[in-house]
Amino acid sequence: MLFPVSVPLFLSTSAIAVAALGSKQVHLQQPLEDETSHFFKIPALGFGTSGLDKAIVSEVVSSALHVGFRHLDCASVYGNQREVGRGISHGLKSLNLNRSDIWITSKLWNDQYTCSSPRPSLRADPSSHDPSLVEDALTHTLHDLGLAYLDLWLMHWPVGNAPETGKTQLDYLKTWHAMEKIHKAGRVRNIGISNFSPAQLKDIIDHSDTKPFVHQFEVHPYLPQTKWIEYQQKLGISVTAYAPLANTNPHYHPKNNPPFLLTNPDMLSVAAKVKCSTVQVALAWGISRGYSVIPKSSHIGHIKENFEALECHLQEEDLKRIDKISEKYLKRFINPSKAYGIKLFDGLEDA
């Protein structure tokens, strides 16, 4: 389902709230609980922290909050959560915001938990997908971020490392059940998954009490995954798109790539028509399809440009033109199947 003209401030599991945005409203991205439906709302535009240098990430995160971002996406494997936490603390204090005014997502890693510093009171380097150590992993994450709770905690991949051999294997049900227990205890407000296949999602739903609140995976005009997104939305599962700008990231440049998304002729044409940058068009396209997007940047100019995508208004014809880009170029840029020795994304586009 497409939502023309405007982009939503919030996304919830019950409905997509579509509202026209004015420049005075854009900053009001607070993830409050809806008073009538009692569903938590995740801000549609988030700020990603993957790959951000620890030397500057505190300042970058604080700057993102000052620009207006109220949704931060983190992960233990990024190795910078302690610095991200400092940026959160500084940003909240300087803006006179409360913890409840922002949405923080982090992720449980499938290999060894990356500790920012040794803490003797906790087990060192717990194997995160060992169900008995899942709570330790969350404790590390909360300690590094300087938080009492997370708004959302995701299982980063449906795989884990066997403690005896270190070999990667499919491993998610027992881990999910351990996450469910933590969710009930209140240290995470919502739990979800990332990079799961349709069969793996069904397995979670069929054998668990808690349905994932969010599924985060790669989505952009070169990998629209329309049917997969719509299927989950019908189930009441929100979607978050990582890599929403496709091959802008220099790490995503293997051979036989399509052209840079931001210089794709169709993107340039739509951008000229609506008087937005191609970055803003790509982000607005994603949000208009009913899911949240998490671009990242360490440059203040790009951070502001990303945030201003909330004021980029696409018409139905613009959305349809972007939808057709994948008919010529269909490309998944992030697929560690060979590295893990396990087929991932089975049944999905360009798996």
Q: Which residues are marked as active site?
A: 78
- Work out the burial of residue 145: count CB atoms within 10 Å of its CB; fewer than 13 is exposed, 13-18 middle, 19 or more buried: buried
Tell which phi-psi region holds residue 169, choosing left (phi > 0), alpha (psi between -120 and 50) or beta: beta
* CA 345/CA 197 separation, integer angstroms: 5
- CA distances in angstroms from 161 to 111, 128, 167, 174, 270, listed in the order given: 6, 9, 5, 14, 45
Question: Do residues 145 and 81 make contact, with C-beta atoms less than 8 angstroms apart?
Answer: yes
Within 10 angstroms of residue 93's Cβ, the number of other Cβ atoms is 10
Q: 179, 200, 183, 197: which is closest to 137 by C-alpha?
A: 179
Q: Report how far residue 349's alpha carbon sits from residue 339's, in angstroms, rounded to the nearest whole number.
A: 19
- Length of the chain measured in residues: 351
**At which residue do the structure tokens 């191609």 appear?**
278
How far separated are the first and last CA of the chain, in Å rounded? 24
Alpha helices by DSSP H, listed for the chain, are 57-67, 81-95, 134-145, 173-185, 198-206, 226-234, 265-274, 278-288, 300-307, 316-323, 325-328, 337-340
- Name the burial class of residue 294, with classes exposed (0-12), middle (13-18) and buried (19+) by CB atoms within 10 angstroms of its CB: buried
To the nearest 10 degrees (0 to 180), the angle between helices 316-323 and 265-274 is 170
Tokens 């500057």, residue located: 56
Secondary element (H or E) of residue 129: none
Q: What SS3 state is found at 73?
A: strand
d(CA 214, CA 13): 8
